[in-house]
Amino acid sequence: MKTLYLDCGMGAAGDMLTAALLELIPDKAGFLKKLNGLGLPGVSVTAERSVKCGITGTHISVKIHGEEEQAHPHHSHGDLEDIRRIVGSLPVPTIVKLDIMAVYNEIAEAESRVHGVPVRQIHFHEVGAMDAVTDITAVCLLMHEIGADQVIASVVHVGSGSVRCAHGILPVPAPATAHILRGIPICGGSIDGELCTPTGAALLKHFVTEFGQLPAMKTAAIGYGMGKKDFPAANCVRAMLGATQDTT
């Protein structure tokens, strides 16, 4: 059985998952060319070599009109209908569009519960920014291309302390992230910071079929998707693709 295992010992974010999965496929340049050709407004995606704690992997950089989105955190908020229009226009398979919207619906439902407003009134703030649209689209496309029969992930390390967001300073995991991760095994620890984002949590919830330890598997490819920050532990998601015995 073709199995994808995601090691989330340092959490998960959209860009980290994108980078880890990108390292698993043979034609990385071709995928980036396809992603940049989708017509996402003003988006440019590049893959860069990154080293964390002596481990070499990939970091994904998303720029909007030549600038990193985080430099303008308030200029591209959108509601679910805005996202739906963007996704509907993408030249990707229907199943990928359905995956993208399922992930966004998960985030919208969490934001709705946390803020006590209807889903139609949710504005996505950081999650609605074009870099997050790009990350979610990229992960859904990569999952479709990899075509694993099952996706298993480790316990999700969420970090500790607090995080500053559009609404102020919130505890880690952020409330929306905590809501999305209900029913999923999580842990904290000594790392001070937000390790799992709402985008990362929603992607895991949508694609992962089982959470647990690394199964007995013959690995064919291993990818390291690096985050931006430096911590005492390597800030990355590790993806392992291989074959496990079908026990059904």
pLDDT at residue 128 in the model = 47
Joined together, the tokens standing for residue 85 give: 């229009």
Confidence of residue 72 (pLDDT cuts 50, 70, 90): very low
Q: Report angle CA 159, 164, 165 to the nearest 5 degrees.
A: 110
Kindly tell me if the per-residue pLDDT of 19 is higher than 50.
yes
Q: At a CB cut-off of 8 Å and minimum separation 6, what does 190 contact?
A: 160
Distances in Å between the alpha carbon of 175 and those of 32, 36, 59, 71, 147?
Answer: 33, 32, 27, 24, 32
Q: Is 201 exposed, middle or buried (0-12, 13-18, 19+ CB in 10 A)?
A: buried
Q: How confident is the model at residue 127 (pLDDT cuts 50, 70, 90)?
A: very low
For 147-204, write each residue's pLDDT tens digit: 999 999 999 999 999 988 777 898 999 999 999 999 999 999 899 999 999 999 999 9
pLDDT tens profile 130-149: 888 899 999 999 999 999 99
DSSP 3-state of 113: helix
What is the pLDDT, as a whole number, of residue 121? 61
The pLDDT value given to residue 73: 39
At 227, is the secondary structure helix, strand, or coil?
Answer: coil
What does the pLDDT look like over 92-115, one tens digit per residue? 999 999 999 999 999 989 988 887
Average pLDDT, integer, range 18-22: 98
Tell me how far apart the alpha carbons of residues 247 and 1 are, in angstroms, rounded to a whole number: 9
